[in-house]
Amino acid sequence: MQLKIENLHKSFQEKEVLKGIDFTFEEGKIYGLLGRNGSGKTTFFNCLNHDIPFEEGTFTLVDQKENRPLELEDIGYVLSTPNVPEFLTAREFLKFFLDIHQDKIKEEKSIDEYFEFMHIEKEDRDKLLKDYSYGMKNKMQMLVNMIADPNVLLLDEPLTSLDVVVAEEMKQVLKSMKKNHILIFSTHIMELALSLCDEIVLLHQGTLKEIDRSHMSDQELRDKILEALTE
């Protein structure tokens, strides 16, 4: 499976942020999306998710059976700030999510099996989400996206504010998900991208550019990324 992006343009008034992006993402990989502040990483995600209008561009899913337009049902979006219904307990939220997506879930597990997978302790499962820490809310956000099993998962700075234990748990979840999925991981932390991601893609001056990391030491790769982002 591939996600083909063709001729994506997005402007805000007189400022053109995305300047005719053409790029192909492939399943089975985690793509690290790097760029300077204000480069348009979140704008790029919001265009893919059709959260904002854009002037031009097409998104196509390509597999062995067909080529078709990317649809909202194909996309999962993990926001940098977790968005969960804080008036529900974690168990109530998960049950509600499972109920409304029942016909789309391939291998449904019990609620407690999902909690176990995400390392959510028994004493936390019936707490209101408003009493969850930032990291715990992020776990719940990741869990429902994992259950929804989207073809394309967009991750906008999801690990930045997590403690080292939770961040490592989330990295393992992402690695387990990449088979048969396209994962695009936006971050401003180069070390995180280098340790987690299979491919490095730079968003710079409105376009996407992949950095070939083969036959390079980590230091050579860092130098090449920094050089490309300061051109």
Give the tens place of pLDDT for each residue, 64-94.
788 999 999 899 998 878 889 999 999 999 9
**Domain 2-33+40-84+151-165+177-229: top CATH class:** alpha beta
Is the CB of residue 112 less than 8 Å from the CB of residue 142?
no
CA pair distance 2, 63, nearest whole angstrom: 6
Extents of the domains making up the chain = 2-33+40-84+151-165+177-229, 85-131
Q: Is 147 within 8 Å of 98 (Cβ atoms)?
A: yes
Place 63 in a pLDDT band, splitting at 50, 70 and 90: confident
Going by pLDDT thresholds of 50, 70 and 90, the confidence category of residue 41 is very high
pLDDT digits (tens, 9 = 90+) for 154-173: 999 877 667 788 788 888 88
- 23 strand-pairing partners: 5
Residue 100 vs residue 11, higher pLDDT: 11
pLDDT at res. 164: 81
Instruction: In whole angstroms, give the CA distance from residue 2 to residue 67.
Output: 9
